[in-house]
Amino acid sequence: MNIDHVDPGEPAALREAFGIGDGGTSALGWEAVRAFEAEQDVVLPEPYRTFVAEICDGSLQGPPHYGLVGLAELPSDWHDDGSGRDLGKPFPLTEGWLWEEDDGLHEDPDAVIDQVLNHGSIVLGTDGCAMNWHLVVTGPRRGHIWHITDVGAMPFGAEFGHTTAAPGFAGWVRHWAAGREWFDAD
């Protein structure tokens, strides 16, 4: 997974997965992407960065189940208005965490949950019932996809278990396009 340079074949594979032609009419364009990055004090990981700049900013078809939301949007089931979000602060987790079973792992679990929801990740969309997919844009797991629900957070990719998929945005999309269950390694 290279999060700093887009693989030359990835844009075509992403277009195909989402059924988007070469026109990129709903893409944001590079100027808008750079403005978002400057405003948020982040650099989006590739290939997502190229995807929103050149291919598409959101899609009604998945992934996830209710479609991919636009770069600056939040899913309709988001828990608040998003005003507490700070993408420039690092995403706090490096491994999965079920906060329902915390058993004292974190001194202040509520504060960490707030950071998981609001720091260092963009929300890609929802599978409903507050089961959201995030792309980490700041911190040690930058470029990785996380599934965050009301009970915990889990990284996506074969290296973390639970799935056979490649990590990152392209691996997540390829896994979805192949029609596979999200967590197919359990």
Q: Is 182 inside a domain boundary?
A: no
User: Looking at residues 52-73, what average pLDDT do you find?
Assistant: 90
> What pLDDT, in 10s, does the model give residues 101-148?
876 666 788 888 999 999 999 999 999 888 999 999 999 999 999 999
**110 contacts: CB under 8 Å, gap ≥ 6:** none
Q: Which two tokens stand for residue 22?
A: 């070469």
Task: Check: CB of residue 102 under 8 Å from CB of residue 113.
Answer: no
| pLDDT, position 183 | 85
Assess contact for 29 and 53: CB atoms under 8 A.
yes
Tokens of 72: 């600056």
Q: Find, among 180, 179, 172, 184, the residue nearest to 51 by Cα.
A: 172
Domain total in the chain: 1
Residue 47 lies in a domain: yes
* Burial of 104: CB neighbours in 10 Å, binned 0-12, 13-18, 19+: exposed
Both tokens of 8, joined, read 């030359």
149 inside domain:
yes
Threshold 0.75, pTM exceeds: yes
Task: Classify residue 184: in a domain, yes or no.
Answer: no
Please check whether residue 140 lies inside any domain of the structure.
yes
Write out the residue range of the structural domain in which residue 168 sits: 10-177
DSSP 107: S
Sheet holding 145-148, edge to edge: 97-98, 152-156, 145-148, 132-136, 121-126
Average pLDDT over residues 166-172: 95
- pLDDT, tens only, 19-56: 887 666 689 999 999 999 999 999 999 999 999 999 99
Q: How confident is the model at residue 167 (pLDDT cuts 50, 70, 90)?
A: very high
Tokens of 110: 């509520």
Question: Predicted confidence band at 94 (pLDDT cuts at 50, 70, 90)?
Answer: very high
The reply to whether 30 falls in a domain is: yes
